Chain A
Amino acid sequence: MGRGNFVNYVYYQASGEFFEILNKRNFAYCVIKGAPLSYLAYGDFEYRLSCDIDLLTDRKNLSFIEKVLLQCSFQPAKSETDFEKNRRNRMLMLTKSHQIFPFVKKVKGIYVRIDLNFDILWGESDENIDVSAFIEDRLMMNIYGHNIYTLSSCKMLICLCLHNYKDINSLYLLQKENPINSERFADIYNLILHTGDDFVADELKKICERFCIKQYIYYMLYYTYKIYNDKKLLKLVIALEDEQGKEILDYYGLHKSERKRWRIPFEERLNHKKIGELLLDDYTEENIEKLKINQELFE
């Protein structure tokens, strides 16, 4: 039994009907991270602890998916009684984030949560990914008896790297529990290890170049290699060598306008207990204002 203690099992049993409807309609979606990643990286759906099911779809599909979720007894996790406030919050999520508010359903005392992601880059990125193109070669995986679409190991690695890059560079998350932790890099390393020879550096490079995301993947692979010092990782780091990626190695902050140079070496910031306190002096008034907006929206 993995560390997830069957939580993932409950998640997928509770959402089986939802995925069945999407599949019957041949709807373009993918489950990213979570149980499929746990399986691809560790050979076990339960190994990684998950707190939700992350669904990726094009933003034009969101309204339909929300209707199906309501039909399957899921409810929006955050909803205001004031219609205008609801509308403003939704617009805020659509213009400043990569996801809208999650949906939840309580089953056997567990809150089953589905996150609706419409981008694999962050909200204020200058680029947007064409999600429909990114998931066009999605794969079917049977998870606890349910047929669910997910991504190839290569694309899963890209999603994982981008997700982790976003978290460890977010001025907001750096003020909460330190997002720069060993587990993030362990997931990347294990996904690469378990994929074996199928992992073709050329394929990864080709996809990264197509979607203009090479710098971020290089960044994550570079630091994963720094921890594990493995030949397989080095091969990928070399294949993805990128000037823009090298330029951002010593900085944090998601948008170039808010980027700051690290004053703490990587080895020290990894798993540091009070990283937020050390960084607060570097934050501008504008950064603090942005933190408040994020707090209001996400907490």
Chain B
Amino acid sequence: MSEGADVDINEFVMGNVKEILNIKSDDIMIEDNVILEAYNFDSIKLIQLIVEIENHYGVFVPDESLVYSNLNTISKIVSEIECLLQES
């Protein structure tokens, strides 16, 4: 398992989403299953997030998962990382 795996994945993803959207933690709470589209989290921002995730956890999101509709909620992204970490 890679170095970053001990960090709470949900917390890591949420933190990065807030950073990319420039949202301060006390401004708004992003719920676990929020649809990222509602925050104008388009595919460019999604890519920024996936790059952060890949660098942090040392994993590669496979081609078949890189579909916007597969990764448009926090919970889908977290679940994808969990699967990748289990496989690695």
Contacts and interface: CB of A to CB of B under 8 A. Distances in A.
Are A and B associated in one complex? yes
Interface residues of B, number: 14
B64 interface: yes
Interface stretch (B7-15, B22-30, B66-74, B77-85): B66-74
Interface string A113-125: 0000010000010
B51 A95 contact: no
B17 interface: no
B78 to A, nearest CB: 18
A87 interface: yes
Which of A60, A87, A124 has the most chain B CB atoms inside 10 A of its CB?
A87
A293 B44 CA distance: 10
Contacts of B46: 95
Nearest to A63: B63
A95 B51 CA distance: 13
A124 B46 CA distance: 14
Given A84-B51, A88-B51, A59 B43 contact: no
Given A95-B43, A96-B43, 17 more contacts: A59-B64, A60-B62, A60-B63, A60-B64, A62-B63, A63-B62, A63-B63, A87-B54, A88-B51, A91-B47, A91-B66, A94-B63, A94-B66, A95-B46, A95-B47, A95-B66, A293-B44
4 closest Cβ pairs, A-B complex = A94-B66, A60-B64, A95-B43, A91-B47
